[in-house]
Amino acid sequence: MANHFRSPRDAGAAEEPNAPATTPQAQATPQDPDDQPELEPVKVQTATIRETTPVSADDFDPSTQQGYTSVFAPLRDESAPAVNRQGKPTIAMKNVTKIYPAQPNKPALEDVSLEVYPGEFVFLVGHSGSGKSTFLKLLTRELKATSGTVMVAGQDLSTMRNYKVPYLRRQIGCVFQDFKLLPDKTTYENVAFTLECIGKPRSVIKAQVPEVLRLVGLQEKMDMYPDQLSGGEQQRVSVARAMVNRPPLLICDEPTGNLDPAISFGIMKLLERINRSGTTVLMATHDREMVDSMRKRVIALEAGHVVRDQEKGGYGYYGAL
């Protein structure tokens, strides 16, 4: 059995001001210690997840551990009204323009203003080169806007000092097309690494990692390395890693881009479930079928402009280019 509890190799990396949000150490969030509701395990693709106790050698009550937060939040009632758009938005962009120095006459984004509220599920669609990745990178402060204001979770990224950026990124889970797993770490270790890097106690890690792996249906593959997993399984590890600390915002850049349709559907159902437990999800995608079947809010970009912002929208005509 792999050593789940070895020290992080470079826990200090979490505090690097410019650590990209693509890394596990960038993903975390403030915790609510009272948030420990139970939830039925999810059915992922064809595998039924058995109701088991968390895989742990020790018999202890994780909820008594300081810093423990269950990843199993209650699901929002599906028949409940759509998201309440009052209060503080998770994302607020006002007149945002981004110009790359290499293309000074062609803004990648121009005068973009929009708001995304807590609990929303939003698809970001558009042709290749329309500005989707630029949009997402502005939210993690991988890029800074040339002008305008970008607010995430109430924080103004335009004026945020570099040393605060890692703390911002702890509130944003990221899932990418190419998974970005650490190849020399097991499933368990890949997820645990996120918590290790932000200094979570070993007892908390030991409780939360099996719990989140159970949620994504990988509790029986905890000791496998990424190259022993299928693409869909790897993506589920990366989803587990992104949400192990229950970030309020989950950003997904083409999360199903490398997966076949059936597997993609399982990933989308997982993301939808995470969303229904309160996490705001923003997903850039070219997956027309997925967007059309989910009927969520759709924001469409064309040449750096928002050309559509539609409740329960479809993909639109972006497939040909």
Ligand X SMILES: Nc1ncnc2c1ncn2[C@@H]1O[C@H](COP(=O)(O)OP(=O)(O)OP(=O)(O)O)[C@@H](O)[C@H]1O
Summarize as ranges the residues that interact with ligand X (CB under 6 A).
100, 102-103, 108, 126, 128-134
Least distance to ligand X, CB of residue 132, Å: 4
What is the distance between the alpha carbons of residues 65 and 203, in angstroms, rounded to a whole number? 7
Least distance to ligand X, CB of residue 21, Å: 16
Least distance to ligand X, CB of residue 187, Å: 28
Least distance to ligand X, CB of residue 251, Å: 13
Least distance to ligand X, CB of residue 241, Å: 22
CA angle 108, 114, 118 (to 5 degrees): 125
Residues 251 and 173 sit within 8 Å (Cβ to Cβ): yes
Q: 249: alpha, beta or left, given left = phi > 0 and alpha = psi -120 to 50? A: beta
What is the distance between the alpha carbons of residues 229 and 17, in angstroms, rounded to a whole number? 32
Q: Which of 206, 270, 280 is nearest to 250 (CA)?
A: 280
Sort strands 91-98 and 109-116 into parallel, antiparallel or unpaired. Answer: antiparallel
Which residue lies nearer to ligand X by CB, 211 or 254?
Answer: 254
The sign of the dihedral angle between the CA atoms of 191, 194, 196, 200 is negative
Q: Which of 81, 79, 47, 108 is nearest to 266 (CA)?
A: 47
Which residue lies nearer to ligand X by CB, 54 or 129?
Answer: 129
